[in-house]
Structure 1
């Protein structure tokens, strides 16, 4: 269950194909679990997606809008969250491409107006990606995230064996077919769901952001 239950009025039911679209997540260097980079450690912005707290992607912020639009248009039922791990653990997973979680898309909603209104009401904010798009699809559904050591490793060799083009980098846009999706989901589902630890970690980061803002305003 998500930490925060959102109002699903206006959301549309979604029925996708049994495929899994890979989506890269910028992740923190300061935690052992590969949570989203909420403190701009990678210099690419403060990320609020995937939003473990509400079990959504793309609702809280305009993020990867073009990629998510494509996932919805192509009817993938699952989003597989991957990253190049550079966190605090000194384990064998360091610098490897791992899939640490997934979500099943159950509902979708076009939130372009929401994000543009937020942008217009925030002086100095960067223009959101969806300003140049016709739609900005947010997705909602159950999420499942595992501990680092329980992640599924994606390697160049595995991609070649499974007959997918590309290498295990942040640019990889693989859509895994049902037979391979089932292998990945089977592996993750056999491990403990650590979503609560992911939520607790990003909540600590939120507090750090608030303290930083307060310190800036007081100087």
Structure 2
């Protein structure tokens, strides 16, 4: 099985959809393991250590939201991309608040899904040769994918890290939500600007008083020293 780009765990209870996703991921060079059962998927994550997880929200028994909650509660920050049949903003926000990195709704283009997985995985890789950057009390190290203030280190999802790094690379510059969707996520109106707001709220909750993120009313966000 081709796995040059890493192993993706696909948790999907509809065999036809799972097969289409598996074939497209394999064609793109990923290793793929398909799991139809939510509870078993948790065991698979621990056993297989996948590079990313494609997680159906509407699984019978233990659903995707419960799985993501269990992973994050256990300090497992494997990138998660939610898939759901429901285009419901409340579900989407709950998923993002639990630490999902991205979100697509059915029906979806298999090619788009593969591209989203690639985007999430690119956000997990360090950037060699880039010096750590500090804004206020907070330092972000893109080379080692670390975020810290003094001796305290913060655990961020791949998307949270990339969003924060993007803001901190240009202190004081104000970015619109549309710019952030395009430059961090790699697409624009598909996800909606609420996605940016949810991730900013999560960053602020995790970083607390060290957060350098400022809201510019009617425009967007910037990273500035307090």
Q: What TM-score bracket applies, with the shorter chain setting the length?
A: under 0.3
Please give the TM-score of this superposition, normalised by the length of structure 2. Answer: 0.23
